[in-house]
Amino acid sequence: MTPEQKAIATGSILLSGASPEGVDMLLKAARLRVFDRGATIFLQGERASAIYIVAEGWVKLYRIAPNGAEAVVGVFTKGRSFGEAVAFRSDVYPVAAEAVTDCKVIRIEADAYLRQIRENPEFAVSVLSATFMHLQSLVGQIEALKAQTGAQRVAEFLLELSSCVTGECVVVMPYDKVLIAGRLGMKPESLSRAFGKLREFGVTIRQNHAAIADIETLREFALEDPANSWSKL
């Protein structure tokens, strides 16, 4: 691992609350894994023996339903960890993990982390923090599915990617539109209709770029109560 990659791992929620000495010892036993786009990191049902921190690129977690449909559970990028809870229980992964871009991940063996928990209790607090973050993300997804229209979910997605506070902004979408649709609980054709709807709010899509005429206008639309549209009829 390079110093930059070690800094990414150290700054992750999984390790940020632990002592520098403990983190250094843990990372000495960790390994950097490189995956090409589309490569499998682990499979659903595989024995969980490691935790991962994304050092570069994007990774998706997904489940395959009995009917063969794919349900995207989460998409993770630099500094985010995954696989914590099941690895500590010696359980199987309830999801599969795939590199959606060329990526690098830091693999930490679960046994090595458990040893650090026994010696340094602050590691346990860090695991709880990371698990809570995953839970909070899932709750947010459920809330969005129930309380927002498809176009509002897409608007929220663009706002999360944006670094602008006011005015015009251009957002680069980090992965393909099929995955964006899956991440937002939509069909690809529904995503296309949502992009069409967002043109009314100053959003223009060109390949993997979204040009936003005014961030505040888009933010207001994302936060609008969907029930308000009925009162305008």
CA angle 103, 106, 107 (to 5 degrees): 120
Q: For the whole prediction, is pTM greater than 0.85?
A: no
Question: Using N-to-C axis directions, what is the helix angle for 215-223 and 150-161, rounded to 10°?
Answer: 140
Q: Which domains does the chain have, with CATH numbers?
A: 3-145 (2.60.120.10), 148-231 (1.10.10.10)
Give the strand pairing for 203-206 and 59-64.
unpaired
pLDDT surpasses 60 at 233: no
pLDDT tens digits for range 26-60: 899 899 999 999 999 999 999 999 999 999 999 99
pLDDT tens digits for range 128-167: 777 777 777 777 777 777 778 889 999 999 998 888 888 9
Write the DSSP assignment of 22-79 as a string of letters: HHHHHHHH-EEEEE-TT-EEE-TTSBP-EEEEEEES-EEEEEE-TTS-EEEEEEE-TT
pLDDT tens digits for range 211-229: 999 999 999 998 887 666 5
Return the SS3 of 191: helix
Q: How much is the pLDDT for 114?
A: 87
Are 86 and 92 contacting, i.e. CB atoms less than 8 angstroms apart? yes
Q: How much is the pLDDT for 158?
A: 93
pLDDT surpasses 90 at 195: yes
Q: How much is the pLDDT for 144?
A: 74
Starting at the edge strand found earlier in the chain, the sheet holding 103-109 runs: 31-35, 103-109, 50-56, 81-82
Counting runs of H as helices and runs of E as strands, what totals does the chain give? Answer: 11, 11
pLDDT tens digits for range 70-105: 888 889 999 999 988 787 777 899 999 999 999 999
